[in-house]
Structure 1
């Protein structure tokens, strides 16, 4: 009797083993389907001159979203918007025409500042004209209010209807003190969007961020070459709750402003590093006009899904923005900002990941593939999706974001931008080991890259988000070579027409490995029942906890 039962048990187990083995084999074959040749084909198309730099509201957008929709269909992704892959994103495109000069009357004489050279002015107000008339100018240190650090740069001063000058980044970077804010790594307090938001909360008429290349993470040219236009999501109040003037001013212009006022700019910056710092007036008033050409239109996110089996109401989201800067300021006779690395190659990697999922067995959870619009103008497309998602935040397990890969071959490292933020680091480490790779924190956390791409839109609503890529340690050439390649890209190609795809020199083997790594991480997340969480020190942890508590009460 027992022997018979044992035999039947064997007969029952063998099909399960075979089934598991077959499923694992399918997953492995799906992963291996990701290849360099297909990556190259996608990049050659998306980064071609024909696509005109893929700027929203242009012919380049039409070509890009049509291409992606066709590729999603070829792969077999489901179209979630009534049979369409396109999520409409209502926006306003604004072209700015600010005053060409600003003249300031200071105690030691008149100082004239020049648009483009000394300052960059824009407005989020959706209106055809904004006027700043005789607004008092105030220096407010870093423009930060952070109660957890005992920090308030707006204490004891009323900045209503004034123009506030604030330093870029945060005191942790400026001091390199690991106990202050997050030390060398930039926090959200250091990002310019936060500074705009905080100044608006205090009623400021305008806010100009003082540019410094090291603290900002990019040179003045990266701002001035792509200035003059911006996109904003349509809002009921036309953004009238924001500052009328937003923008940047050079350190050199600020130094002159302080000198003409009998003040020492370097000393003021030093004082701003202390939480006891007090904001002060610069004894001058600023006037300027910004005329706007408005274009209200619909741009598009491109979204496809693979529906889950047992938990199809839960999802993970892959993202890679399709947009770039279009046709802009010429450099060396070239005015098309092709955006090959930023972000055509990333989109190609996501397409290959989607293809792998389509070849694999059906996952338990739904997998969403999102190509957002308008990342280059403040992550607007991903923000719109995060606010208008297919699945609510408490049903969205994680976001895996592709951004700015470089075609420089196989890498030993897997660099995590925002290392230490969430449990997703452990997923990356587990599957990196299977590729004989190791985890490395980002080399320049002071640049605030975790707050500068589409994963941040998901983080802001509490969804753990992962941004990884091979970046620091070439298998063939080593660390110094990789460092030099990355530095060369930042210097010569980032947000410039030189970001083009050269099939003869590009080595996509490392991008294939990164896409395979992303596939393995996503496959694990899509087939388990747990939800990864933020780490205790993350500023997003409380948002997630509140979201999941809502999920628990609904359940």
Structure 2
């Protein structure tokens, strides 16, 4: 089926109801919904709203006879009066450091834990890199740098140069440290390599955090997951008689050897824990010829809830991130159900909205491990995480390059709109690894991220992203929304009607996993 045929048969642009879209965003991002935090009153309002919307469209429940897939998880909030003691230095929570845990334990204690600097905290055999070589960190506290050596050197021959790899993500650094047996990890924050300011770290780590819960009560997880302000790290190294900047430079070169900092660490986390269930929302449009083959369209429903900012409690409404994406899924779901009533799609389409993306892709990880259909039957995963609510643009951003054949779809449908495909201008931010599509990629499912935040609103990242100012604005033109939903919708239609199975292009664990599934 050619692009013009899909365009004519589905007619996404002609059927978009931007008034309905506005209503979805303004409702989901209202103060009444309280910032849509998991395990909150705002969650119940959100789940009811989405379930009722899908039911009113006539879509089938996607989890048996329910639209809701339970996600067992826990909320963990450490008391914020904690103090970090390193040698004879004391550091203040929130301004100098943050610390949290995913262990289901009332207390987690570091008592005279040895401190060591392990460079970037990376063990990557395919890059010939191991910062833990010859190092025993069992029971120790490890300081590591944010991002990876490619960003530090800007050398395309080192990792992927400016483009962040998964080894540069904070999630990886905590995972690897846990595998190595460390008691704690503190990542040194710097705005450029982290791709966000300290305020994002503080807001994201000094409030309630959520985690999946395993049958060991997460005892195998890292004890302390921390961040250090750049200035705090400099003080720690100086007290050890070392130059932080010089060691940082050395750590970006092959063969770097870890450095013992000859100081002891003391910290105690006192945790308030609530174990409960959150929910993913799933709605199904069955296919007529190959119903077991599924194409997914997704946008996470959660945001940060309520938090203290500038000394007062505010609602973090998350209008762009990601009420705008959820509204897009709802509007396309309505259009596709109406189209299917006339001419059914050959493959099934699963519309989803996962929980707890903001705290580590938790809903997506749970779905990937407990899918409602085998992941080998999921053709592709389209993920909306923040839409361009402003004027339309003559390009669309592509996150990752040479990753999968999904990029060919993006190029073709963008060209049909007379738009160019523009490489992610901030590849160092690693958005390929920071939204729900990544959890499905780890199971071998190729996908695309559709995100438009700072590229169309230069003020957004600095003053609105993960802040109280991310509110619905009735003056939004929504021309960019109209443009992108047209592209996404017509791409979704082709995938739902053709026989293709988009393939991974570059060698990766994703490609290996897909090959195991015979795709």
> Which deviations, in whole Å up to 9, do the C-alpha atoms of 1:113-139 show, x marking residues without a partner?
111111101111111111111110110
Does structure 2 conserve the Cα–Cα contact (< 8 Å) formed by 1:36 and 1:509? no
Residue 476 of structure 1 corresponds to which residue in structure 2? none
Show the counterpart of 1:494: 465
Q: CA RMSD in A?
A: 1.9
CA distance in 2: counterparts of 1:206 and 1:357, whole angstroms: 48
User: Is 1:261 the equivalent of 2:243?
Assistant: no
TM-score (norm 2): 0.96
Which stretch has the larger CA shift, 28-37 or 394-403?
28-37
Q: Does the CA-based 8 Å contact 2:115-2:264 persist in structure 1?
A: yes
1:293-304 map, 5 Å: 293-304=272-283
Q: 1:358 aligns with which of 330, 337, 345?
A: 337
Inter-partner Cα distance in structure 1 for 2:80 and 2:29: 32
Secondary structure of 1:225's aligned partner: helix
Q: Give the distance between the partners of 1:510 and 1:30, measured in 2 at CA.
A: 14
Preserved CA contact (<8 Å) 1:232 1:380: yes
Instruction: State the 1:29 CA deviation.
Output: 3.4
CA distance 1:280–1:363, change in 2 (3 Å): same
Residue 311 (structure 1) aligned with residue 298 (structure 2) = no
CA pair 528-255 structure 1, distance change in 2 beyond 3 A: same
Call closer, same or farther: CA 1:332–1:409 in 2, change over 3 Å.
farther
**Map of 2:301 onto structure 1:** 322
Deviations 1:128-174 (A, max 9, x none): 11111111011000000111111000011111110111000000001
Matched with 1:285 is 264
Shift of 1:69: 0.6
**Which of 425, 430, 433 is the equivalent residue of 2:407?**
425
Q: Hey, what does 2:372 align to over in structure 1?
A: 390
- Distance in 2, Cα, partners of 1:138 & 1:325: 33
Structure 1 SS opposite 2:296: strand
**Structure 2 match to 1:120:** 98
C-alpha displacement of 1:419: 3.0
| SS at 2:421 equivalent | strand
Q: Which moves more between the two structures, 385-394 or 165-174?
A: 385-394
* Conserved? CA contact 1:98–1:288, under 8 Å: no
- C-alpha deviation, 1:406, in angstroms: 3.0
**Alpha-carbon spacing, 1:80–1:539, altered in 2? closer, same or farther (3 Å):** closer
Match for residue 242 of structure 1 among 203, 208, 221: 221
1:553 maps to none
1:50 aligns with one of 20, 27, 32:
32
Counting only pairs closer than 5 Å after superposition, residues 54-69 of structure 1 correspond to structure 2 as 54-69=36-51
1:162 and 2:154 aligned: no
Equivalences, count: 515
- Match of 2:412, SS state, is helix
1:179 counterpart residue number: 157
Instruction: Report if the CA contact (8 A) 1:118-1:249 is conserved.
Output: yes
Aligned to 1:548, the other structure's residue is in SS state coil
1:232 maps to 2:211: yes
Gaps of 5+ in 1: 1-16, 472-481, 550-555
Deviations 1:345-367 (A, max 9, x none): 11011111111211222111110
Q: Deviations over 1:97-120 (max 9, x none)?
A: 256222222xxxx21111111110
1:468 paired to 2:450: yes
Contact 2:148 2:164 in 1 (8 A): yes
Measure the CA separation in 2 of the matches of 1:502 and 1:334. Answer: 21
Shift of 1:420: 2.4
- CA distance, structure 1, for counterparts of residue 298 and residue 401 of structure 2: 19
Question: Within 2, Cα distance between the matches of 1:183 and 1:26?
Answer: 42
* 2:118 is equivalent to residue 140 of structure 1: yes
Q: Deviations over 1:338-394 (max 9, x none)?
A: 100000011011111111211222111110001000011101011111111111111
User: What corresponds to 1:13 in structure 2?
Assistant: none
